[in-house]
Chain A
């Protein structure tokens, strides 16, 4: 028999690190579901089943989960979070890769983060 008490989730106040603004209360963010779901380049090349898979099916893993969050009450940026769905620990927050020219360059970001700390 395992004597470890199970977690009872009553908290809604995670501390989430916005890659731009730093750690903020969960209430400032909105959740965007699993990260890394790429829109198919040619939707019409997909069968109905494949399209449904893209639309509706998610991994829903027990453990490490990469997901999208939006700093809705802050800088309005979407970013990625790696969160453990059992412990709720957040391993890291990250800016989304493949950002185009409209996105700030990494060097600049680091400088501003340095200043914040």
Chain B
């Protein structure tokens, strides 16, 4: 074990519990709407494709007019209402999707190799650096994959697929001295 609790080799997989999620649709070119949302969120909304910002929340780019806001579960509903209210005058959609998503963490020196078994993206740190995210395939499921740091990845997956993705990861990690645990 290293200082940060990560295995020096191998990989650790855990479910990140207590997470809340909001889905935001907004015209990114409507300056006022964007400003309003950013003021409520207290952090910028990423405009660059396939990146995320990390402030009080993680705000993931999902599409040119769509974002996923991840934060603490208890705050999601209130934040959602606040956001919806503030954006009331604009063409925008705010949906609480806390029940619809599960977040997994894959950490460790071999995390990248484990993910590469089922993800066709180039995960080389030069190509997929911390701060980048991508909606892509893992195994046979669609996921949102985010590079947290050079050896940690967050995976947000639709709830109904989460058991499959979890089992897929455990299976893929098995030859890598894997640790499966809660956070």
By a beta-carbon cutoff of 8 Å, the part of chain A in contact with chain B is: 13, 20-22, 24-25, 27-28, 73-77, 101-105, 108-109, 111-113, 115-116
Chain A residue contacts of B171, Cβ below 8 A: none
| CB-based contact A112/B49 at 8 Å | yes
Among residues of B, the one whose C-beta sits closest to the C-beta of A18 is B49
Chain A residue contacts of B62, Cβ below 8 A: 75-76
| CB-based contact A21/B120 at 8 Å | no
Chain A residue contacts of B120, Cβ below 8 A: 13, 24-25, 27-28
Query: What would be 18 A-B contacts, judged by CB atoms less than 8 Å apart?
Result: A20-B49, A21-B49, A21-B135, A22-B49, A24-B121, A25-B137, A28-B120, A74-B63, A74-B134, A75-B62, A76-B63, A76-B66, A77-B64, A101-B27, A102-B91, A112-B47, A112-B49, A116-B48
**When the two chains form the complex, which single residue of A77, A105, A112, A116 contacts B29, counting CB atoms closer than 8 Å?**
A105
From DSSP, what is the main secondary structure of chain B's interface residues? loop
| CB-based contact A104/B137 at 8 Å | no
By a beta-carbon cutoff of 8 Å, the part of chain B in contact with chain A is: 27-29, 47-51, 62-66, 91, 120-121, 134-137, 142
| CB-based contact B135/A75 at 8 Å | yes
Query: Within the assembled complex, what's the spacing in Å between the Cα atoms of A75 and B51?
Result: 12
| CB-based contact A74/B48 at 8 Å | no
Chain B residue contacts of A102, Cβ below 8 A: 27, 65, 91
**When the two chains form the complex, which single residue of B47, B91, B136 contacts A108, counting CB atoms closer than 8 Å?**
B47
| CB-based contact B63/A77 at 8 Å | yes
| CB-based contact B142/A73 at 8 Å | yes
